[in-house]
Structure 1
């Protein structure tokens, strides 16, 4: 897998941290190998498309412009991501038991199918998330539910077959980047 580029660094960091703080994950070694391979963008994460981000002087958020793009200070950004990921992981633990094994096993089979393109697998992930969002009663905004469901599916697929983590991680980051990027930017503000 290629290194994560700037447009998906936030999504990658959020998913990685979500997985790291989630309960009951069986792919610890594979998860940490993502960081050593440069797939996870810590410590520097950039926020693209945030022309109206407020930079505060109270120590909560700080950053600077680099090539016209806001770059948050790594320690601050990592801490914000950790807090949000932990909150999302708590929600994910509640969703976890609602997700049927059949949905996970179907996705595992798609990831194992070498004839499917990256776009087709991302579409399968999207369809699974949307189906779960319709099937599970949710007391939260749709974007948050879809984000958590995508990340929980990633965890469940990797728990089922840890060797798929890198592939499912990159697919989920791609899905989140395409479908939920603006929501994540708003959430991290």
Structure 2
């Protein structure tokens, strides 16, 4: 049974939550998922929780907010905590849509709790993505200034994808809520 538009929005919100969860579990948890690769020490990849060497595959201890001076700004790295927050809020907001999808009453979307949670997830993800770009572009430029090669990794693009999905969902939910309220008022006043 298809209840528009809650099912596509559920899929987009859940997908954003999964993508941001993968962003959260970067190097050294999942080695192919990293924010930056540098030629330092024969090649090294950086994530939220640490780094891994290309040469022998050894990784740093898993520590949130590790220090890699002077290339990576530690306070910016600690602010990557916004990604797990956004992931949790996105997954939680997708769960709030399950009763709407299972209900026989049409027109329950947008559910107010979903609107609030998806908006908070979007704000968290947008802020996290802005900090992510600042963190890794600063590190990229500092590595280049020190004479090393460096390039952005796949997690930057995954974070962008998750953020774009949440922005679409939050705008859709917010605009739907406003349209629905305006439509109810016009219905009340005209009839």
Give the TM-score of the pair, scaled to structure 1.
0.25
